[in-house]
Amino acid sequence: MKYLRLNEKSFDFLYDDVHEILKTDILISEKDYLEFFEKQGTNKQFRKRENPQLGGGLFGYVEEFIPEFVEQPKSELESVKEQLKEMQIAFSELTKLVNSK
């Protein structure tokens, strides 16, 4: 049998033949379990619901969401690469100017 364990901010799946099942763990159906991994296989992301819907099966406790991607600041190396590229373009244009005379 498969169970869901809710942690503070996340969740885990447990298997009664592998893990110690606690009274607080939630039995989930095979159908919900398979549907979860089917959706996850298509790059769907899930998180623990803030307000669980008791008795709603697995999807009463977890929900699909689209993660927000935060743009990371450029590293020093990336900045130097951009500067080098700009200098190469400027040098190329200067060379063309000098050679055209």
Q: 21-32, pLDDT tens digit by residue? A: 999 999 999 999
Give yes or no: residues 57 and 43 share one domain: yes
Q: What is the DSSP letter of 90?
A: H
| Exposure string over 40-75, b if 16+ CB within 10 A, otherwise e | eeeeeebeebeeeeeeebbbbbbeeeeeeeeeeeee
For residue 101, pLDDT over 90 is answered with no
List, for residues 79-100, the tens digit of each pLDDT value.
888 889 999 988 888 888 888 7
Give yes or no: residues 49 and 83 share one domain: no
Q: What is the rounded CA–CA span in Å between residue 73 and residue 10?
A: 28
Give yes or no: residues 52 and 76 share one domain: no
Give yes or no: residues 43 and 77 share one domain: no
Give yes or no: residues 58 and 82 share one domain: no
Q: What is the rounded CA–CA span in Å between residue 42 and residue 39?
A: 5
Higher pLDDT, 61 or 92: 61
pLDDT at 94: 85
Give yes or no: residues 47 and 89 share one domain: no
Give yes or no: residues 59 and 84 share one domain: no
For residue 43, pLDDT over 80 is answered with yes
Domain that includes residue 30, residue range: 2-65
Give yes or no: residues 7 and 51 share one domain: yes
Give yes or no: residues 56 and 79 share one domain: no
Q: Which helix (H) or strand (E) holds 2?
A: strand 2-6
